[in-house]
Amino acid sequence: MSLKSLDRAHWSYTEARAHVQNVTVARFLQESAGKPPVAAPINHWERPRDPVAVWKGEAEEELLIALRDGDLLAQGRFSETRNNSNFGPDSYKTWILHSGYHQHITPGQWREGQFLNLALSTMFWELIEIRMPRFMVKAIWPDFVPPAVPVRMPESLYTTPYLDVMQAAISQFGITAARQEKKEFLSDWFFEQQVEGEPVSRNLADAMATLIRLPSAQRGGAKRVFGPDLRNAG
């Protein structure tokens, strides 16, 4: 991979967490699809927990474990200056004068500090605006792609010896919607065939000759004319 194609983009902690949660929830939904629902134990003192909320909580814990173990690298703006002022716009902050550039956060710092309100802090320092390489997050939690549904190949089309003979006649005589053979000729041909060693009867030959022709051809090409019945007119 060339340096130009290297993914240098960073995700904030919030963006990384959202990705991990989306992937985790999608995976659990896929795994639970088709399974019978499991009845939660009845507890009149606690409201039933939303499974999606539980999965999101597990996803965030996985993200923090990866940071604590050093599997995922992160950066933050460091400060070891406490805010001793009770006045001004930053009076609510515990730490001030954070570095203007991001520095690497070690696994030891993740284990030592407390992560709260998107900041990692101890009694002696604080790291804010935590970010991490996007490609590393996706390497551990790839985009979820639903498994492909196996395509079930259709079984061989059911047929019978009679249908096979009729298809043979269509092929032999080149019958199409535009080219229809005479019924009498087809009936004679069917009458000469055998099905499973038995000769085709005349009645069956006539029926087969009828079925492989279009209904309009069976009327001799003449159009029906509908009008008043004059057969009994005086």
pLDDT tens, position by position, 15-45: 999 999 999 999 988 887 766 665 555 565 6
Question: Which of 91, 110, 140 is the last residue before a domain boundary?
Answer: 140
Helix (H, G, I), strand (E, B) or coil at 116: strand
Best CA proximity match to 82, nearest among 62, 98, 63 = 98
Q: Are residues 208 and 114 in the same domain?
A: no
Distance CA 105, CA 74 (A): 6
pLDDT, greater one: 169 or 234: 169
Regarding whether 124 and 14 lie in a shared domain, the answer is: yes
pLDDT digits (tens, 9 = 90+) for 45-103: 666 678 899 999 999 999 999 999 999 999 999 999 999 887 877 788 999 999 999 99
List C-alpha distances in Å: 206 to 61, 112, 184. 77, 93, 8
Helices H / strands E in the chain, number of each:
8, 10
Average pLDDT taken over every residue of the chain: 85
**Do 71 and 174 reside in the same domain of the chain?**
no
Work out the angle at residue 76's Cα, subtended by the Cα atoms of residues 71 and 77, and round it to the nearest 5 degrees.
165
Phi, psi of 31 (to 5 degrees): -70, -35
Residues 115, 167 within the same domain: no
Both 128 and 193 in a single domain?
no
Structural domains of the chain, count: 2
For residue 222, name the pLDDT band (cuts at 50, 70, 90): very low
Q: Are residues 109 and 187 in the same domain?
A: no
The pLDDT value given to residue 38: 59
Residue 123 has pLDDT above 70, yes or no: yes
Whether the predicted pLDDT of 104 surpasses 60: yes
Residues 123, 198 share a domain = no
Tokens at residue 59, please?
């996803």
pTM for the structure as a whole: 0.58
Q: Is 180 domain-assigned?
A: yes
Residue 117 has pLDDT above 70, yes or no: yes
The answer for 197, left when phi > 0, alpha when psi is -120 to 50, beta otherwise, is: left
Domain that holds residue 170: 161-218
Output the six-digit token pair for 94. 């515990």
Are 15 and 91 within one domain? yes
Torsion angle, CA of 39/44/46/49, rounded to 10 degrees? 20
Tokens standing for residue 34: 């088709």
